[in-house]
Amino acid sequence: MTEAVLEINVTAFKAKCLELFKQLEARRYEKVVVTRRGKPIAELTPTAREIPDIYGALKGRAIIPPGLDLTAPILEEVPEAESGEGPF
């Protein structure tokens, strides 16, 4: 990873912003400073860490007792949706 800072004016940034985001994502720059008339107006940095995948994020966090059937119905009677009767 190169510890580089890119300074770019707002007009050039507008024309190249998608490519600059790809370069930030690839960690080619530590920071991109966007300027207007030579004065900084914004700084872009890559995220501090990788965003974890949400699938499997809670793996191993829940304990299901042996013999518990998670697919078994929990109500004795199925409520009638149209009549509004039922335990809900």
| Higher-confidence position of 85 and 12 | 12
pLDDT in tens, 12-39: 999 999 999 999 988 899 999 999 999 9
pLDDT of residue 61: 86
pLDDT in tens, 36-68: 999 999 999 988 777 777 888 888 888 889 999
Sign, CA dihedral 38-39-42-43, equals: positive
Q: Which CATH number fits domain 5-44: 3.30.450, 3.40.1620, 3.30.360, 1.10.10?
A: 3.40.1620
- Residue 35: name the closest of 11, 3, 64, 4 by CA: 11
